Amino acid sequence: MTYFTRCIPIALMRLVILLLIPLTAACVQNTAVPGPVQESAAGTTMAETETTMQEAAPPMEKEALTAEFFYMKSRRLSNKGNSKEAIDALESAIAKDPTSSFLKREKIVLLHKLKLSDQALVLATELAEQEPDNVENLMLLVRLKRGEEYDQEMSELLKKILELDPKNQETYLRLGKIYLDTEAHDNALELFTKMTQVFPDNYVAYFYLGESYLNKGETDKAVAAFEKTLALEPDLVEPRFRLAEIYQGTHPDKHRDKILKTYKEILDLQPDNDKAMMELALFYYQGNQMNKADPLFARLSQALADNPRLIMTAVDTFISRKRYNEAVIVFSQLRKLDPSSANLNFFLGMAHEALEQTDKAIEYYLKVPPDHPQYKKTILSIAFLYRGKGNTREALRFLEQHHNQSPADIDIISYLASFYEEDTRYDTAITLLQKGLKQSPENTTLLFKLGTIQDKAGQRQACINTMKALIRLDPDHASALNYLGYTYAEMEIHLDEALDLTRRALDVRPDDGYITDSLGWVYYKKGEYEKAVFYLEKAARISEFETVIAAHLGDAYLKTGQPDKALAAYQKALANADKDAHKKEIKEITAKIKAIKTRTNGQN
């Protein structure tokens, strides 16, 4: 997680607001409209005059209406919320002036406003291709293409925009966001360094330059960048938080005065800043200055009643950033005034669980009442914590107790069945799941779990029937398609159907190593060994030579006359094997390695 992903204060976002706001007509308002909108001496706009003319004109005269008229009509309709009619008017304007990029951009914006994003994206792509050097067209395409799947494409497009318009601030910030989000720290550093050179008075550029240095561990340069940010914009608090974090992370005793000064400055600027108050209280606590820490914690505790968001600030500050020991201190101190606080007990349980302090985690989770939104999570967490201690029986007893209290709770049924499965009580798990399916017959989670446990219980045909029923309910259930296809391959039956099933599964999850392995294994069972090698090599790469997959690849190499490659695959399979989970496989692979070496030695 990069520093960029933390909250940015409102003041800092003045120049980056375009990164967050929905696409609106304002995106293109810096472009001149197609023709002036003149005002008559009487104060009537030309557009209003033309409206009157249109209403009074005979049909033939309407042909003389201009692109500007229809554009202004579209604007009026859009302002009244009539976006569909506005698009129709824009279509008329475009028909009058088919070369106008401005009008096409306006149409794209309206389509996006109507949530017709796919149509908007198609038109924006066409417009960018028609005029590849038009910055406004390219920027509109960038604003429409959001999401991680577009990061690489958008990076190239934004770099092109910078070449065309080296002073486009939005482009720097959008490209920088991609670099920071994808942890391309060198690229981010180079970009924001250049931005500070192009815009030497831009405090946002210096802030993200500081972030880039911080991500690379160059704290001295980060400090200089954040200090420059504050020199340009003295009222910001976020650079001060960054500076305090750096001081605390590098010789806190040495920087004690700076840390205190920084947090006090934040509280001078924002007296009710909960995060600064927590950090300062924690700093006093860790320095054994309880006379200063206690009043701050007490003030925060009292504020909890009126400000429920305060506790989420603590979660974001400590738990989300894996500062679990500090989370325990802060939540424990806040809890002093309200020991029964469900939220505080829940988050204390989370912090202790993350620290692997099992007994403490269970203690606090048990204090969470049934009406709490996270109550079910606490039940499941407690069960897993008992199991983590090696006390599966206690975990089962606990889940059974809650199942008896809430027999219709599908989640508890599913997890309790998993615990029975782990305890090899397959029949009990199957009976429980079948009861759950009577209540929720189309629950695909329960069906898939039932099928896998039936398989483990030796009920192979029942497993096949369950997976078929699941696929009828959800034809694109990749796990069920894969499970049934692999089962057929292992049984060496219905291999053509197995091929179809595993292909369908791979269509749904094309980068899944286990499904790719299943497809390769079906080809192996069909005797198509070259195809088997192709898919099994891919599966091994994806799974980093998981034991069963690597063993399958070794088998395929042997069938294609490549014993050296087979030996290497088997050795990787053995190296990745779990001594408990892969006892059978270890024995089989060891025998195959021995056989290859014996054969090789015999030939020598």
Encode pLDDT of 331-348 as tens digits: 999 999 889 999 999 999
Q: Do residues 351 and 331 make contact, with C-beta atoms less than 8 angstroms apart?
A: yes
Q: Do residues 436 and 448 make contact, with C-beta atoms less than 8 angstroms apart?
A: no
Greatest mean pLDDT among 15-29, 65-79, 403-417 = 403-417
Helices marked H in 3-82 — which ranges? 46-56, 67-79
pLDDT at 18 exceeding the cut of 70:
no
User: What is residue 33's predicted lDDT score, i.e. its pLDDT?
Assistant: 34
Q: Do residues 482 and 515 make contact, with C-beta atoms less than 8 angstroms apart?
A: yes
Find the Cα–Cα–Cα–Cα dihedral 60, 63, 68, 72, rounded to 10°.
50
Percentage of the chain exceeding pLDDT 90: 67
SS3 assignment, position 545: coil
Work out the pLDDT band at 604, boundaries 50, 70, 90: low
Minimum mean pLDDT among 44-48, 59-63, 166-170, 518-522: which range?
Answer: 44-48
Helices marked H in 252-406 — which ranges? 256-269, 274-286, 290-304, 309-314, 324-335, 342-354, 358-365, 375-388, 392-405
| 550 within a domain of the structure (yes/no) | no
Number of domains in the chain: 1
DSSP code at position 311: H
User: What is residue 20's predicted lDDT score, i.e. its pLDDT?
Assistant: 36
Nearest-angstrom CA–CA distance, 123 and 112: 11
Nearest-angstrom CA–CA distance, 92 and 90: 5
Greatest mean pLDDT among 53-62, 116-125, 456-465 = 456-465
pLDDT at 11 exceeding the cut of 50:
no
pLDDT at 9 exceeding the cut of 60:
no
Q: Do residues 157 and 171 make contact, with C-beta atoms less than 8 angstroms apart?
A: no
pLDDT at 569 exceeding the cut of 80:
yes
pLDDT at 46 exceeding the cut of 60:
no
Q: Do residues 550 and 573 make contact, with C-beta atoms less than 8 angstroms apart?
A: yes
Q: Retrieve residue 91's tokens.
A: 């279509």
* 310-321 pLDDT per residue, tens: 889 999 999 999
SS3 assignment, position 447: helix
Residues present in the chain in total: 604
Q: Do residues 284 and 292 make contact, with C-beta atoms less than 8 angstroms apart?
A: yes
pLDDT at 354 exceeding the cut of 90:
yes
| 208 within a domain of the structure (yes/no) | yes
Phi, psi (rounded to 5 degrees) for 278? -65, -45
pLDDT at 45 exceeding the cut of 80:
no
Find the Cα–Cα–Cα–Cα dihedral 294, 298, 304, 310, rounded to 10°.
-30
Q: Retrieve residue 195's tokens.
A: 């931005």
User: What is residue 148's predicted lDDT score, i.e. its pLDDT?
Assistant: 66
| 498 within a domain of the structure (yes/no) | no
User: What is residue 5's predicted lDDT score, i.e. its pLDDT?
Assistant: 33
3-state helix, strand, coil in the chain (%, to 5): 75, 0, 25
User: What is residue 499's predicted lDDT score, i.e. its pLDDT?
Assistant: 98
* 113-147 pLDDT per residue, tens: 888 888 888 988 898 888 899 889 888 888 887 76
| 451 within a domain of the structure (yes/no) | no
User: What is residue 390's predicted lDDT score, i.e. its pLDDT?
Assistant: 87
Minimum mean pLDDT among 69-73, 148-152, 458-462: which range?
Answer: 148-152
Instruction: From 601, 543, 595, 596, select the one nearest 572 (Cα to Cα).
Output: 543
* 228-246 pLDDT per residue, tens: 999 999 999 999 999 999 9
SS3 assignment, position 32: coil
User: What is residue 149's predicted lDDT score, i.e. its pLDDT?
Assistant: 67
For residue 251, the domain's CATH number is 1.25.40.10
Q: Retrieve residue 596's tokens.
A: 């290859």
Query: Domain range spanning residue 200?
Result: 184-271
Within 8 A by CB and 6+ apart from 198, the residues are 166, 167, 172
Within 8 A by CB and 6+ apart from 128, the residues are 134, 137, 138, 140, 141
Q: Do residues 468 and 484 make contact, with C-beta atoms less than 8 angstroms apart?
A: yes
Q: Fill in the amino acid letter for 232.
A: L
User: What is residue 543's predicted lDDT score, i.e. its pLDDT?
Assistant: 94
Residue matched to tokens 């604007």 = 75
Which whole number is the average pLDDT over 289-299?
93
Nearest-angstrom CA–CA distance, 25 and 314: 38
| 226 within a domain of the structure (yes/no) | yes
Nearest-angstrom CA–CA distance, 154 and 128: 13
* 394-440 pLDDT per residue, tens: 999 999 999 999 999 999 999 999 999 989 999 999 999 999 999 99
pLDDT at 544 exceeding the cut of 90:
yes
Q: Do residues 9 and 238 make contact, with C-beta atoms less than 8 angstroms apart?
A: yes
Residue matched to tokens 């069920």 = 480
Nearest-angstrom CA–CA distance, 116 and 118: 6
| 330 within a domain of the structure (yes/no) | no
Q: CB pairs under 8 A, 24+ apart, for 210-214? A: 210/239, 210/242, 211/2, 211/3, 211/4, 211/180, 211/242, 212/180, 212/185, 212/188, 213/189, 214/3, 214/242, 214/246
Residue matched to tokens 């219980």 = 457
Q: Retrieve residue 254's tokens.
A: 């040495």
Q: Do residues 310 and 343 make contact, with C-beta atoms less than 8 angstroms apart?
A: no
Q: Measured over all CA atoms, what is the biggest interatomic distance in the chain, rounded to whole angstroms? A: 108
User: What is residue 189's predicted lDDT score, i.e. its pLDDT?
Assistant: 96
* 262-281 pLDDT per residue, tens: 999 999 999 999 999 999 99
